[in-house]
Amino acid sequence: MSQTAYTPGIGNSPFGNPNTNAQGSQYAIESGYTPTESILIRKAIKEAIFDAAPEQYNALKLVFEKNFEEVISDEFEYLESTFGRSAVESTAIVALVAAVAGSPATQVIAMTAASVAHLTPDLIIVYPDNTKAVVKSIVGLNVTVESQTSSGLPAVAVGDIFSIQSTIQADGMDYFSNYERLETVTRYNYIQLFLRAWRWSRLELLKHQNAGTTNFLERDKAEKMRQMRTDLFVSFFNGNRGEFRISNSYLAKAMGGIFPTMQAAGSMSANPTLAGLRAAFETLAFATNFKKEGGTRFIYGTDEMLYELSKIFKDPGLRYAPNDTVANMNLMEYRLGSMRFVPVSCELFKEQSCFPQEWARKLLILDQETISPVKMKGLPSMYIGSTLDRGAKGTREAFQDGYIEANMSLMFNNPIGSFTIDVQ
């Protein structure tokens, strides 16, 4: 028999909908009518937890769809061969030498040490006004040159730039004057280790598994995975190569990312206003065009900056058709002369929990073919695992740790084929 009796219509009913609330009901907590809570009512909780994080992070796909290079240690070097010739530069004024019929004109031109390193006798150099001369001898930083027979030589100013045309030899010569070796540039980087972990006590985990009202465990693990991918992405773009002290007793190597590598290599950059964006982009695009005709470079930036950049292209964007499945994400491309540029939205650049504030207005124009993620041989690039708990044989811990670990670095060949723009 019920212990509570009432007459309908006389006084307040102890029952009814206002008093039929699940335990912990927000209505019961916030209402000024002090309604009751009932253990007989279960909270209405949607099982699937909504993911409220922004979805505009497709740049992660483009970066990590490329296969990882493998190296055998956590420090690695990689070499590039250079173009093999460089312009040369004068450091002093030299007077004009008039032409004399039947004879060459001679000048002694002081040049930079870097210039002299690229010269040998019997090389034809070209003056800024297109006059040609042949190198006769080199003593210290002084280069003696002669004109063609019956020709003069123009005056030389400090900072004049001379091109190298070619070698030349005469029939019947009994010596070689031009010896060369392939020149290389050595670059290096470190493998960085990454870790995201979580801990559940034994009974706590069982309670969630047995009586959980949502997909919290699944979403929690998925969130750790997303944060790990974000860690990798941010480090890939903005990591500084070096060392950190962890807990004052452990030393950890940190990888060098795209932007710091470009800075160290002297990649071209500009800081235009919006009004000067077009001129800056076109100038740097042509100055760094080392790709074959029709080669593609990718433009990373926020939607706002990519929209501003899109205004400088006269033709509408074309559907980007990659040669393979990499970057097949329905992207568009723009063309400037024979060059192709594919904008890639990277809203993470304006997320201050990931990048400094100025990255919101930064554009990175990258030759993607020269950039590769790197991992250490014998380790998966990313791994999900867990420790044992007391239910397993041989351990005393009444908890279980789960973790996601990764190892990654960057190999960036020819960074001067890419450039950056910081819009003011």
Tens digit of each residue's pLDDT, the chain (424 residues): 456 555 555 555 566 666 666 666 666 666 555 666 666 656 555 544 444 444 445 566 777 777 888 999 999 998 887 676 788 999 999 999 999 999 999 999 999 998 998 899 999 999 999 999 999 999 999 999 999 999 999 999 999 999 999 999 998 888 888 888 777 788 999 999 999 998 888 888 888 888 777 778 888 888 888 888 889 989 999 999 999 998 878 999 999 999 999 999 899 999 999 989 989 998 998 888 876 665 788 999 998 998 888 877 765 555 555 554 444 444 677 888 778 888 888 888 998 888 999 999 999 999 988 898 999 999 988 888 888 888 777 788 888 888 889 999 999 988 888 999 999 8
Report how far residue 74's alpha carbon sits from residue 67's, in angstroms, rounded to the nearest whole number. Answer: 18
Strand, helix or coil for residue 304:
helix
pLDDT of 309 = 84
- Residue 235, SS3? helix
- Rounded Cα distance between 351 and 136, Å, is 60
Decide if 306 contacts 333 (C-beta within 8 A): no
What pLDDT does 144 receive?
Answer: 96
Cα separations in angstroms, 355 against 58, 193, 345 = 17, 20, 15
What six digits make up the tokens of 354?
């990931």
* β-strand pairing of 419-422 with 242-246: unpaired
In the three-class reduction of DSSP (H, G, I as helix; E, B as strand; rest coil), residue 226 is classed as helix
**Backbone angle region of 265, left / alpha / beta, with phi > 0 → left and psi within -120 to 50 → alpha:** alpha
Q: 334 is written with which tokens?
A: 């723009």
Query: How many angstroms separate the CA atoms of 51 and 67, rounded?
Result: 29
Residue 49 is predicted with a pLDDT of: 42
Q: What is the pTM of this model?
A: 0.75
Burial 383-396 (b: 16+ CB within 10 A, else e): eeeeeebeeeeeee
